[in-house]
Amino acid sequence: MSAVRDDSLPNPKKWLMVGAVGLIVALIGFFVDSRMAAFCYLIGMLFTSSIVIGMLFLVMIHHIFDAYWSTIIRRQAENFLAALPWLGLLFIPLFLITYLGAQDTVWIWMNPDHVLHGHGTVGEDILYQKKTWWLSEPFFWARAVLCFAAWIYLARVFRRNSISQDADGSAEHTFSSRKHAAGGLVVVALTWSSFGFDWIMSLEYHWFSTMFGVWFFANAMRAALAVLVLVAAFLVAKGPLKGIFNTKHLHDLSTLCFAFTVFWAYISFSQYFLIWNGNIPEETFWYNFREQGMWWEVSMFLIFGHFLFPFLYMLQFPLKTKYGPMVFMACWILFMQLFDIIFNVLPSLKDAHDHPVDFIHHPLGLLWLVAALVGGAGVLLWAYWSSFHKVKIIPIRDPRIGECLNHNH
Residue range 233-253, pLDDT digits in tens: 999 998 889 989 999 999 999
In a domain, 249, yes or no: yes
For 91-155, the three-class secondary structure string (H helix, E strand, C coil) is CHHHHHHHHHCCCCCCCHHHCCCCECCCCCEHHHCHHHHHCCCCCCHHHHHHHHHHHHHHHHHHH
**Position with higher pLDDT, 4 vs 148:** 148
Is 309 domain-assigned?
yes
- Mean per-residue pLDDT, 191-200: 96
- Average pLDDT on 73-87 reads 96
Contact 313, 322 (CB under 8 A): no
Instruction: Return the closest-CA partner of residue 251 out of 182, 159, 314.
Output: 314
With 0-12 / 13-18 / 19 or more C-beta atoms within 10 angstroms meaning exposed / middle / buried, residue 402 is: exposed
**Residue 207 located in a structural domain:** yes
Whether the per-residue pLDDT at 112 is higher than 60: the answer is yes
CA dihedral 303, 309, 314, 319 (to 10 degrees): -160
* Residue 4 in domain: no
The average pLDDT across 192-211 equals: 93
pLDDT given at position 289: 87
pLDDT at 2: 47
Helix (H) or strand (E) holding 210: none
Q: Is the pLDDT of residue 1 over 60?
A: no
Per-residue confidence band for 255, with pLDDT thresholds at 50, 70 and 90: very high
214's CB contacts (< 8 A; 6+ apart) are: 193, 267
Dist. CA 146–CA 140, nearest whole Å: 10
Tens of pLDDT along 125-179? 898 999 999 999 999 999 999 999 999 999 999 999 999 999 998 999 999 999 9
If one counts the domains in the chain, the total is: 1
**Average pLDDT, integer, range 108-126:** 87
**CB contact at 8 A, 286 and 207:** yes
Please say whether the beta carbons of 40 and 369 come within 8 A.
Answer: yes
Mean pLDDT of the residues in the chain: 92
Residue 114 has pLDDT above 60, yes or no: yes
Share of the chain above pLDDT 90, in %: 78
Evaluate whether residue 2 is within a structural domain. no
Mean pLDDT to the nearest integer, 118-128: 86
Q: Which residues contact 220 (CB under 8 A, 6 or more apart)?
A: 50, 51, 53, 54, 57, 192
CA-CA-CA-CA torsion sign (183, 141, 144, 129): positive
Question: Which pLDDT value is given to residue 232?
Answer: 95
The pLDDT value recorded for residue 190 is 96
Instruction: With respect to residue 215, please indicate whether it lies within any of the assigned structural domains.
Output: yes
Is pTM beyond 0.75? Reply is yes
When pLDDT is averaged across residues 43-62 and rounded to a whole number, the result is: 97
Strand partners, 115: 121
Residue 101 has pLDDT above 60, yes or no: yes
305 domain residue, yes or no: yes
* Per-residue buried b or exposed e for 155-173, using 16+ beta carbons within 10 Å of the residue's own CB: bebbbebbbebbeeeeeeb
Domain boundaries, position 398: 12-405
Single-letter amino acid, residue 264: W
The answer to whether 123 touches 64, Cβ cutoff 8 Å, is: no
Q: Does the structure show a pLDDT above 60 at 5?
A: no
Residue 319's Cβ-count burial label (10 Å; 0-12, 13-18, 19+) is middle
Mean pLDDT in residue range 393-402: 91
Q: 134-137: which pairs have CB atoms within 8 A and are 24 or more residues apart?
A: 134/197, 135/109, 135/202, 135/205, 137/110
Q: How many CB atoms lie within 10 A of CB 365?
A: 21
- Mention every residue, 6+ apart, whose C-beta is less than 8 A from residue 158: 56, 59, 60, 63, 78, 81, 177, 180, 181
What is the per-residue pLDDT for 409?
59
In a domain, 389, yes or no: yes
pLDDT on residue 120: 85
Q: What is the Cα 129 distance to its own chain's centre?
A: 31
- Plot region of 279 (φ>0 → left; ψ -120 to 50 → alpha; else → beta): left
